[in-house]
Amino acid sequence: MANYSNTKISTFEQCRYKYDLKYNKGIKSYKNTIEAFMGSMVHETLEKLYTDLRYMKKLSLEELLGIYNQKWKENFTHEIIIAKKEYTADNYRLIGEDCIRKYYLRFDPFDQETIIGLETNDFLDLGDGNTYSVRIDKFSCKGNDYYVCDYKTESRMRTKDDADHDRQLSMYAKWVRETYPDAENIYVLWHMLRFDKDLVAERTDTEMDEIFENTKRSIKEIESCTEWPTNPGTLCDYCDYKGQCPEFTHLIEIENMTPEEISEDAGVGLVDLYTQADDLIDKNKEEIKKLEAEKENLKNEIVCFAEKKDITCVYGTDHKISIKRSQRITYEDKDRLESVLKEKGLYDDLSSISYPRLNSKIKKGDIDSDIKELAHIEDIETVSLSKIKTKKE
């Protein structure tokens, strides 16, 4: 039995290598991104606001911002990753302040709903031995209407469509449905704090059940996974495991070298030579094309020469060209061909094995062991050359 959270499943969907480090091998990352740090400082501050309200103590906006800034000062470290180099940590601190200010001014006196829970720590039973973490930032009700509220400090304004299809909100709503049978309506809501807007969606039982089943399927895929490759992409700059990722280890090593050390690094030298060879091939592609066309013309002329002389081999100074005649057969209507072969009872005899499909089944382990034994499996390396993105790109 295992417990899954939205972060855990999303990590698997984003990068299996990172999932393997974090969840299978239990390797901790002590790095944090500035976006995540700012988000957690804002979350903790709003939690404090509502905790105090439950004890009939209302903090002023100034007091609340003071708490936020104090938290920031106490927890900030220079280890925190700032991927956007043109901004400083203080820019992010001010964004967080702005989020809190907007939220406070819009919801003061905070009596819109009754708070049931803050940063809840519950579990939804998935019925197959696993559970799903239910951690709702602000869980509230108004009569028999229940509200699952999540704070978002991100810079992208999400859409209603995002809210309508979000897995985490659906799973939380399902938990509300099962835990509070008096719930007439369950609203799932994102407070988009930077934009001073809310995105609200409702969940029907059918929608909840559909996402519930999809989530169980995703978990099954995780549990049956045997390969954990890296998946480099735009989110790598925000990955707290970048320092332990084989996609970036060499780059990080080079970034910490002197220019002299870089010029002596064997890897740098080899990739530079490979790039030069690749450039040379690229530059000569047009020339190669012309030469290929010229060769084709010469071939045709040699064939004509041989035909005229009724010979099968033409001799040059120190090379000869042999001419073999054969027929090339192609089929324009392959569907028709397949049905005629079946009609005539010849299909089984003439159709061939689909090796790409067979190989994929062997890789997934989704095949009879007698067949797998017949396959010779060897590790091969392919390389691909691409430009390193500069910070501006």
Angle between helices 6-14 and 205-224 (to 10 degrees): 60
CA distance 134 to 177: 13
- CA nearest neighbour of 42 among 120, 107, 103: 103
Please report, as a single letter, which amino acid is at residue 267: G
Q: Is 253 in the site for ligand SF4 (CB under 6 A)?
A: no
Question: Most distant CA pair in the chain: distance in Å?
Answer: 109
The structure tokens listed for 37 are 């740090």
Q: How many residues form the binding site for ligand SF4 (CB under 6 A)?
A: 14
Kindly tell me which of 16 and 203 has the beta carbon lying closer to ligand SF4. 16
First vs last Cα of the chain: how many Å apart?
44
Nearer to ligand SF4, 200 or 252 (CB): 252
- Which string of DSSP letters, residue by residue, matches 180-212? -TT-SEEEEEEEEGGGTEEEEEE--HHHHHHHH
Nearer to ligand SF4, 15 or 169 (CB): 15
Is there binding between residue 232 and ligand SF4 (CB under 6 A)?
Answer: yes
Q: Which of residues 75-114 bind ligand SF4 (CB under 6 A)?
A: none
> Residue 3: which of 93, 145, 132, 105 has the closest Cα?
132
> C-alpha distances in angstroms, 43 versus 6, 49, 67, 90, 358?
17, 10, 12, 18, 50
Question: Within positions 212 to 231, which residues make up the interface with ligand SF4, using CB under 6 A?
Answer: 230-231
Does 245 engage in binding with ligand SF4 (CB under 6 A)?
A: yes
Calpha distance 184→204 (Å, rounded): 11
**Measured from the CB atom, is 15 or 193 closer to ligand SF4?**
15
In angstroms, give the least distance from the CB of 153 to ligand SF4: 21
Site string for ligand SF4, 5-24 (x = CB under 6 A): ----------x-xx------
- The binder of ligand SF4 chosen from 147, 151, 175, 241 (CB under 6 A): 241
Nearest approach, Cβ of 238 to ligand SF4 (angstroms)? 8
- Which residue among 162, 247, 253, 265 contacts ligand SF4 (CB under 6 A)? 247
Q: Which of residues 40-59 bind ligand SF4 (CB under 6 A)?
A: none
Provide the binding-site residues for ligand SF4, judged by CB under 6 A: 15, 17-18, 230-232, 235-236, 239, 241-242, 245, 247-248
